[in-house]
Structure 1
Amino acid sequence: MNPLLIKKDYILLYILLAIVYLTGLWIPLMENDSAQHATMAMRMYLENDFVNIYKGGKDYLDKPHMHFWLAAFSFKLFGVSHWAYRIPALLFTLLGAYSCNKLAKVFYGKQASHVAALVFLSTQSIFLANHDVRTDAVLTGATIFGIWQLVLYVHLNKVKHAILGAIGVAIAFSTKGNLGVFVVGVCILVHIAYTKKWNIIWSWKTLVGLLAFFISIMPILYAYYLQFDLHPEKTINNRTHISGVKFILWDQCFDRLTATGFKKTSPDYFFFFHTLLWAFLPWSLIAYVALFNRLKLLWKVKFTLQPKTEILTSVGVLVVLIVISFSKFKLPHYLNSLLPILSVLVAGYIINLHQNNKIKTTNILLIIQYTILTLGSAFILFLILWAFMPPHVGYMLCYLLLVAGLCYIVITQMQKLRKLVIVSVYFMIFINFCLNTQFYPKLLMYQAGNNAAKIIESENIIKDDVFMLKNKPSWSLDFYTKRITPNLNIEEVVNMKKGTWLFLYEEQISLLNQNNIEWSKKYEINHHRITRLSFKFLNPNTREGILKKAYLLQIK
């Protein structure tokens, strides 16, 4: 049988995907989380303190150190910049793609390998995780690497795979706590149960793997011990005598499940199931079809072991989804660590369609993809041409070339499943190239902090003379001035020396008037919470009416 993808197909797609990911490196950081995490890592680098994590001068308990360590190390190598902050995320995304490739090859053969990697790299949430960088890109890459290595350990019983798998899981734990451990644990246990290789659990090599895991997480546990366990007087969420070690090993997981210390988010038990529809675009509907077909087959054969069948990517993912759906604190990016596993499931399903020549199913899926892609392309083109100023002529030429390429692929005669994969990946390349080069940069014109930093630089304002009013931080101001801006209360502002500068938001300026504080110079900056978009903001005719202001004032 002819291969689904030929070499020139995936090489060209990899090159175009690389271009899109590289353009994402240069987008300014968004508030809150991305700019906040970058600033926290920058403080580590500036103060050469890699033990303590602080958020706005307060001890930060919620997430472990790995993400911040990697970003701070990148700053040491390349200096403080948004592209340097994103380098670790990009590297772990590449590791995730490589691990998808190899895991798909283990389960479904060589033809599935590049399909799985392309599915993973062209997923919308993975694009997003590489420019709006939080802990999720590192977590995702480490999780799928750990699963791949532990699957090899189950199959080959070699101690090196147990150790490498344990290190992958340890990095996932060191990045976001027990979520990665839970995902890997459920998937591997499901795989062991299906293949009936229970003897692997009792092997001495498994003990070596567990030892490697605990050794690998010791730096995190020690850092938590130094910051919290040695300082029971510290107050976190109105509590003292906090054990950082106990928190990261146990409390964090259950605090999120019960929303203890967090504001409850969606009570919807199907939140993750419908969020997956956009998070896994353009593959989400195919993933649900693949999941349904796998569960249907397993039910038909009463879950007996079948040749060339695995349940890690179906039952494993479903169990995780069901469990996390009972959490009272839900966020879309909690799905990210499942996306590479689903990418392998989708690749296996597509290869199965190809090998069994399922023409009717292929035609239906191709029509669905064409519909999604056409609507999506039209929406993105409308958005970038309507919402903001027209793109640079160079970018417009690139967009036209990409549209021409998309049209060429659609009209070219080729095997339909091959066309489905190529068109789907190419569509996401087009979408995210437009977003990275036009939409996001224009959006960042309405984030006050990074634009205030530009004013400070262009007007040669001495950075050490700039302060912020308390209770409303600007992480992007801190990051782009490469300095932790001191936060002052209103009493301290009253006593500021003449000529110093104060950054504040529109709702805070009444405090200055109430305390008879005057200023000699004022820079007014448009501001909007750009991670919470609305039609009124996107509409250029109504945007001005909902914009807020931020100010950079020189005190008299």
Structure 2
Amino acid sequence: MILSKKDSYLLYGFLLLVYVCGLFIPIMENDSAQHATMAMRMYLENDFLHIYKGANDYLDKPHMHFWLSAISFKIFGIHAWSYRLPALIFTFIGAFYSNKLAVHFYGKKINHIAALVFLSVQAVILANHDVRTDAVLTGAIALAIYNFVKYLDSSKLSNLILGFLGLAIGFSSKGQLAVFICGVFLFVHIVYANKWKQVFSWKVLVGLTAYVLFISPVLYAYYVQFDLHPEKVFNGFNNISGIRFILWDQSFNRLTGTGFKNNSPDYFFFFHTILWAFLPWPIIMYAGMFSHLKKAISHRFKKIEGFELMSSLGTLLVLLVISTSKFKLPHYLNSLFSIMAVLVVGYLWTLHKNKKIKLLSRWANFQIGLFVFLSVFVLCLSFWAFTLSSWLIIIGIVVIVTLLIVFLKTVKEAPYRKLIVSSVGLMVLINFTLNTQFYPNLLQYQSGITASKIIKKNKIDPEHLYLRDGIEAWSVSFYAHKNLKRVKVANIPNQLKKGEWVYLEEASFLKTKEAGVVWSKIYPLEHYRITRLKLKFLNPSTRPETLTKRYLVQR
């Protein structure tokens, strides 16, 4: 084994610490808080067939993510951590099956490495506190691809059924994107490994039947919410078929930009986004992709023993296709990361087997140099921007740094081990700092969090609490444990009764004063759109200039 059990367990332990710290960060606006509130409504109303965004029908992401979070609320109660728990479970599923796939292709000597690579990826860690549908999708795709590959090599029906189960969970989380990604990777593997016999088997018909059964709950929910109600109007249209939407429109509209703003004409968007999203492994991943493709071309794509093409060519093909989309966001990459982890491990393992010690040493030194620099940068930024929250954070940082220094001083003639442990360890240091010092302090400038603390402290009844119509403040609803009523600014003088509360931004607050409304209690709240950080905000001396006001007020 390349890594000792001690190495693996220590790195797993520190990664678990990072992920657990992320569970307790306040919910972030906009999407994460919005999804949490939508799942909360499912739980509170015990209605798992309809999805609503505020007062309106929701027709975008399918149900699985919301179902899992609503079930978690039912078991554990409404908390930020219980909302995030299903995402964390599927992240561990993704790590487990990434590892199994790497071991399947490259042998037991690289056991645990793909899991550690996957769990240390920056966007994967981020997706477990800024939780959307992607963590469930990513874990489901890893589950599906491993079991499909296993079926192609063993012809076991159980693997085929599990593969279609993973595919169905992915489909039920984000639509046909899961089918497309799995399809591209598997097509490459089938063609390269010549596995057509297993494709044209009666077992595949059984698997497809199981798949239809697995996705039927989502299809039925869409049918009940939309197909049974042709009178519903959504985006100016009626006679909407929910089933057609999830089977076709949802994915292809994003690809063509239909109904979505063309947010990125940059065809290289995903290729350069990988440079931060797949930290600490992007350069190694690209090197591995180039090396794999060069080897395949030099052998004219003839099968080579102990070599797989799926992770390299499959990743490249998916990137090329999604780069043509008119609507692009960084987290669309997340579903590729489990297979990219296999690519990283395969490339490094090939270097190790071929005794490319000097090249591995250069990679190790490159990783250590780059991520020591990034670690120092993150530490300085976090403690410069925000005052220390707790001395326990300093103790945690000192322990991690000390262990890394001891490791780097003791390891000498093992560049593979040095590269893996130092890369994962430094990402632990970076994200422990972010999850305990940076993000918790940053989120205090998301005024919905501050308002929620005031609501809790003053025991304000959510029945008498309103949000200004159109304001992005899902976190207020979530922490109030209620889908709060909305009120238009013009209606506040007549609609709000004595003793009732409303959360609004400064312009609306001033309009109510101009309209003669007298507020008995006024809580001014500092606010900043924390998903768009600027140096002027991060600098404590200039931060007040960047802040706007929001208000929690009582009539």
Q: 1:219-368 maps to which residues of 2 (within 5 A)?
A: 219-368=217-366
Asked whether the 8 Å contact 1:388–1:442 carries over to 2, the reply is yes
Q: Which residue of 2 aligns with 1:505?
A: 505
Q: Which residue of 2 aligns with 1:516?
A: 516
Aligned amino acid, residue 272 of structure 2: H
Asked whether the 8 Å contact 1:103–1:113 carries over to 2, the reply is no
Asked whether the 8 Å contact 2:184–2:314 carries over to 1, the reply is yes
Compute the displacement of 1:383 (Å): 1.1
> Aligned with 1:30: secondary structure?
coil
Asked whether the 8 Å contact 1:101–1:113 carries over to 2, the reply is yes
Asked whether the 8 Å contact 1:384–1:391 carries over to 2, the reply is no
Q: Which residue of 2 aligns with 1:544?
A: 544
Asked whether the 8 Å contact 1:45–1:72 carries over to 2, the reply is yes
Q: Which residue of 2 aligns with 1:42?
A: 40
1:209 lines up with 2:207 in the alignment: yes
CA distance in structure 2 between the partners assigned to 1:397 and 1:266 by the alignment:
43
Q: Deviations over 1:451-475 (max 9, x none)?
A: 1111011122222211111111310
CA distance in structure 2 between the partners assigned to 1:430 and 1:351 by the alignment:
25
Aligned amino acid, residue 135 of structure 1: T
State the superposition RMSD in angstroms: 1.0
> Aligned with 2:130: secondary structure?
coil
CA distance in structure 1 between the partners assigned to 2:507 and 2:310 by the alignment:
52
Q: Which residue of 2 aligns with 1:33?
A: 31
- Equivalent of residue 139 in structure 2, options 138, 141, 162: 141
What TM-score does the superposition give when structure 2 sets the normalisation length? 0.98
Aligned amino acid, residue 461 of structure 2: I
Q: Which moved more, 1:235-244 or 1:333-342?
A: 235-244
CA distance in structure 1 between the partners assigned to 2:518 and 2:396 by the alignment:
50
Q: Which residue of 2 aligns with 1:103?
A: 101
> Aligned with 1:553: secondary structure?
strand
Compute the displacement of 1:371 (Å): 2.2
1:461 lines up with 2:455 in the alignment: no
CA distance in structure 2 between the partners assigned to 1:295 and 1:462 by the alignment:
62
Q: Deviations over 1:474-499 (max 9, x none)?
A: 10000001011100113431122112
Compute the displacement of 1:266 (Å): 1.1
Aligned amino acid, residue 546 of structure 1: T
Q: Deviations over 1:16-47 (max 9, x none)?
A: 11111111111110000111000000000001
Q: Which moved more, 1:43-52 or 1:110-119?
A: 110-119
Q: Which residue of 2 aligns with 1:384?
A: 382
CA distance in structure 2 between the partners assigned to 1:155 and 1:507 by the alignment:
64
Q: Which residue of 2 aligns with 1:482?
A: 481
List alignment gaps of at least 5 residues for structure 2: none
> Aligned with 2:111: secondary structure?
helix
Compute the displacement of 1:242 (Å): 1.0
Q: Deviations over 1:228-268 (max 9, x none)?
A: 11111112122111111001000111100111111111111
1:419 lines up with 2:418 in the alignment: yes
Q: Which moved more, 1:107-116 or 1:266-275?
A: 107-116
Q: Which residue of 1 aligns with 2:439?
A: 440
> Aligned with 2:266: secondary structure?
coil
Asked whether the 8 Å contact 1:111–1:351 carries over to 2, the reply is no
Q: Deviations over 1:271-324 (max 9, x none)?
A: 000000111100111000000000110110011110001111011111100000
Q: 1:133-212 maps to which residues of 2 (within 5 A)?
A: 133-212=131-210
Asked whether the 8 Å contact 2:489–2:508 carries over to 1, the reply is no
Asked whether the 8 Å contact 1:385–1:391 carries over to 2, the reply is no
CA distance in structure 2 between the partners assigned to 1:532 and 1:57 by the alignment:
27
Q: Which residue of 1 aligns with 2:451?
A: 452
Compute the displacement of 1:409 (Å): 2.0
CA distance in structure 1 between the partners assigned to 2:472 and 2:420 by the alignment:
44
Q: 1:60-99 maps to which residues of 2 (within 5 A)?
A: 60-99=58-97
- Equivalent of residue 112 in structure 2, options 90, 111, 114: 114
List alignment gaps of at least 5 residues for structure 1: none
Identity %: 53
Aligned amino acid, residue 542 of structure 1: T
> Aligned with 1:206: secondary structure?
helix
CA distance in structure 1 between the partners assigned to 2:522 and 2:34 by the alignment:
26
